[in-house]
Amino acid sequence: MSRKKVTIYGASGCGNVGDDLIAVTLVRMLQKHLYGVDVYLSPQDTRDDIETSDAIVIGGGGLIYDYDFGNVVNYTDIIFRAADQQLPVYLVGMGVQHVFSERALNMYRDAMRHVNAVSVRNDDDAKFFIEKLGYDPKKIIVSRDLVFLSKDLLNVKVPAQKTQARKTLILALADWKLGKKNYETIGAGLAEQQDRYLSYLQDNISKLTERYSVKLVCQASEDVGLYKKLMQSDPKLELVTFGSVEASTELLEVYAQADVAVTGRYHGLIAGIVTNTPTISVSFGGHKQTKLIDDSFGSLRKQLLTVGEFVERDVLNKLLDDDYVAQLRTSTRFERWKCNRLAKRNYTLVKKLAGELAKV
């Protein structure tokens, strides 16, 4: 009997290290818990793999959005093609960003009729699937992001203590490149806040190299331009990039070696939590970082700043103050345990998939 094949579709290979790390973690999770099954990670735009598969998994990350309508077409097309082949489809570790158009909602509603089960990152995402897409709540598993499972699944070693002679500061900053219409749809004044934020970084970042070994950790391809501008401010700034999907596992190692981190990236926040690194989060209000902290990591609430607050409170200069840095917190042991337990609910969906494959 030939081996069964499960094909994963997601956002890996598109220039976002968080999405790459999700993909690598998901592959390992399926390999570990699906016996006698080949797990294949497919490029987004390849459809031939559907015809040679026994099941399709889409995940994970914030894949539900219509900023770029091509995103809607891409994932619904995968589901419809799998349905034509009568293949089971599972959505694992899904997040919802923003869906503004009724056209997109209708396409997602039609596609979800062919999805066997979904695991989502929080209660708000579950509510979206139920209320906006009319999806059966009995088929939804509320979990947490797959990256919370990555350290154990991928055997990433996190040192018990820092060993560098000089303190290391990570800046994993985001250059949110949305169109003005999208900024205004999300919230008033966000485009102006973004401009002030970028100018503040350029004007103040060079002061940090007096105290720290500063690493600019580029977690998304759209941030490259920002980092190139920042590096013109001070040649002592070090740029950290990740050369492949598989290299995304190095993200946790980079955070583990830091004494403090400032991040505008959702998976930067998660990396800080997983490696127990004091982390300041910077985002627009209502961003997925906010949801994660409100849902699971209340101890970090004071270290969650909007883009405007980051500038107004002059955080870069505060990082030169020993007392300020000493007060920065990590999440509690109980918070991490509880979140990891929720993340393991994704295994429930894998069990459902295993049962479906047994019928093939």
What digits encode the pLDDT tens for the residues 108-121? 999 999 999 999 99
Q: Average pLDDT for residues 34-48, to the nearest whole number?
A: 93
- In CATH terms, are 4-143+345-359 and 168-336 the same topology? yes
Determine contact, residues 277/172, Cβ cutoff 8 Å: no
- Give tens-digit pLDDT for 79-95: 999 999 999 999 999 99
User: What is the rounded average pLDDT for all residues in the chain?
Assistant: 91
Q: What is the pLDDT of residues 212-232, one digit of tens each?
A: 999 999 999 988 888 988 998
C-alpha separations of 151 from 61, 141, 171, 266 in Å: 17, 22, 21, 17
How much is the pLDDT for 67? 85
Percentage, residues of the chain above pLDDT 70: 93
pLDDT of 262 reads 97
pLDDT at 181 over 80: no
The CA distance from 32 to 15, in Å, is 26
Fold of the CATH domain 168-336: Rossmann fold (3.40.50)
Q: Which residue has better confidence, 61 or 349?
A: 349
d(CA 263, CA 284): 12
Residue 218: per-residue pLDDT: 95
Fold held by 4-143+345-359: Rossmann fold (3.40.50)
The predicted pLDDT at position 108 comes to 97
For 127, left (φ over 0), alpha (ψ -120 to 50), or beta?
Answer: alpha
3-state helix, strand, coil in the chain (%, to 5): 50, 20, 30
Question: What residues does each domain of the chain span?
Answer: 4-143+345-359, 168-336
Spatial contact of 90 and 346, defined as CB atoms under 8 Å apart: no
User: What is the per-residue pLDDT for 342?
Assistant: 97
Is residue 185 scored above 70 in pLDDT?
no
Q: Tell whether the model's pLDDT for residue 325 goes beyond 90.
A: yes
The pLDDT-based confidence of 184 (bands split at 50, 70, 90) is very low
Span 287-307, mean pLDDT? 93
